[in-house]
Amino acid sequence: RLRLATPTLHSMEEGESSCENRPHHPTPACGGVGADQTANRVPVEEEGGENVRSAAEGRHRELALRLQRAASTGGDVLGALESGADPQTTDVDGRTALHYVAMKGDTFAAVALCAYGADLSARTSNGRTALHGACWNGHTQTVLQLVEMGADPHGCSYDGATPLMDAARNGHSHTASALVTVAGADVHASEACGRTALHLAALNGHSETVRVLASLGAHVNACDADGCKPLHFAAWGGHAGTAGALLALGAEVSPRDLFLSTPLHDAALGGRTGAAAVLLDSGAEVDARNSKGITPLHSAASSGHLDTTAMLLERGAEADAPSADGRTALHFATWNSHPRLVYLLLQRGADMLRCANDSLLPSDILCSVDSFEWPEDLLPPLHRLSLPVTPLHASSDGGDLEAMCFLARAGVGLDCQTPSGDTPLHWAVRAHQVTAAAWLVAAGASVGVTNCKGVTPADEVGRCLDAAQRERLVRKAEAFRQRRGREEKG
């Protein structure tokens, strides 16, 4: 058969990206026509050599191009066929003229092509037939006509997608209903990754299609290869209405996948506050733990979803609930550099000194993650929270002079202490942040404040800094004092 290069046309490929997979439940890519396996499909002018230049081949190619152009643009398909065009000609993605007219819903052209010998079972490079194309775009009349002419409603693409799945994933309820009730399509069929038509409708938020499929016998609690049910997919997609529809149809509110994650975990991970609220209203467990002890609050905090985190806390989520390795939401939020979320958790009573199993503290993370920066508007209210480790301690430990200057201007006390009695100057000296320590001294921080062990910053200078560092500290402190004096006079 002749293969032709054609212009880019509207096809199933354009909608494929809407079928998004849950990130911790990887599944094979599933979607539109012609997306893969095209490396060995090249235009005929690159394959035919000298023979293509013959008059007969030239005529054949001209007719094939005419047919394909007519099929893809709504032109005179019958005229091209009557002139001798071969209906079996494919483009570089394996699509025949029948694929194109089916995707466009041109029933008359589809009948004409079949009358001239078009193959109803012809597949594109990813295994889809013309019937898949008609279903993808919801052309019910064309679908029924193709089935009447012998198209297989059970035929699968190479990744296991049936025509019913393509109708469902795009929300074509009437087409889906006709496939099942008239054509006898299997409503329980699943892709290679285990997803049914109902999973796909739920994933893309097609509530009416979900209801139609359920009325036709689809199982609302069917599992895919990862143990995910349609409600998991509706929650991950953030489709609150679809989640509500599934629950009304009898879906379990807190089913577990293979990793013991619930739909609420998925909603929280994606920041789908509305879907999460629907699940909680229906009785979902707010502190459900998966196989790693992760709660929905952990999922929301690690991803930086402020609104979802706030809603979970308002609904009773435990702020300091530990994962299997002892990490809390505050650990996850600090590690992933979400300062506003950290502030929210601290406001709600999260413990900055809560140890993980490896003894890691959220306060340790604040001082070690280079990308963590407090927004200026949060710094004063943070100090008013009376935290065990303040932003001034953290910025002194990291040598961040800009943040230290801002905090001082905001009225933060330079000698604020941790529960162990350490001031920011203690921390700066221990961290060998000579410039930061010098700035604190010049700004008025006391070198004589004792911590719980009776150690002063002056003691730490003698213990932690060598002679050269001590000399530099004195010199820099004097330079900072002189600069402050000039600024005050100016």
pLDDT digits over 429-452, tens only?
Answer: 999 999 999 999 999 999 999 999
* Secondary structure (H, E, C), the chain: CCEECCCCCCCHHHHHHHCCCCCCCCCCCCCCCCCCCCCCCCCHHHCCHHHHHCHHHHHHHHHHHHHHHHHHHCCCHHHHHHCCCCCCCEECCCCCHHHHHHHHCCHHHHHHHHHCCCCCCCCCCCCCCHHHHHHHCCCHHHHHHHHHCCCCCCCCCCCCCCHHHHHHHCCCHHHHHHHHHCCCCCCCCECCCCCEHHHHHHHCCCHHHHHHHHHCCCCCCCCCCCCCCHHHHHHHHCCHHHHHHHHHCCCCCCCCCCCCCCHHHHHHHCCCHHHHHHHHHCCCCCCCCCCCCCCHHHHHHHHCCHHHHHHHHHCCCCCCCCCCCCCCHHHHHHHCCCHHHHHHHHHCCCCCCCCCCCCCCHHHHHHHCCCCCCCHHHHHHHHHCCCCCCHHHHHHHHCCHHHHHHHHHCCCCCCCCCCCCCCHHHHHHHCCCHHHHHHHHHHCCCCCCCCCCCCCHHHHHHHHCCHHHHHHHHHHHHHHHHHHHHHHHC
Bridge partners, residue 91, by sequence:
4
CA–CA dist 283, 280 (Å, integer)? 5
CA–CA dist 109, 145 (Å, integer)? 11
Gyration radius from the chain CA atoms: 33
pLDDT digits over 53-63, tens only?
Answer: 466 677 778 88
> What pLDDT score was predicted for residue 400?
83
CA–CA dist 237, 205 (Å, integer)? 7
CA–CA dist 192, 60 (Å, integer)? 39
Apex CA 110: angle with CA 106 and CA 112, to 5°?
120
Domains present along the chain, CATH in parentheses: 286-372 (1.25.40.20), 386-490 (1.25.40.20)
Two structure tokens written together for 347:
């406001």
Residue that is written with structure tokens 């979900």 in the block:
210
Q: How far apart are the first and last CA of the chain?
A: 87
User: Which residues in the chain show pLDDT less than 50?
Assistant: 1-11, 13-20, 24-53
> What pLDDT score was predicted for residue 6?
37
**Cα torsion angle, 259, 262, 264, 267, sign:** positive
> What pLDDT score was predicted for residue 7?
34
From residue 2, how far is each of 64, 100, 117, 391 by CA, in Å?
8, 16, 15, 70
> What pLDDT score was predicted for residue 118?
93
pTM, two decimal places: 0.75
> What pLDDT score was predicted for residue 191?
94
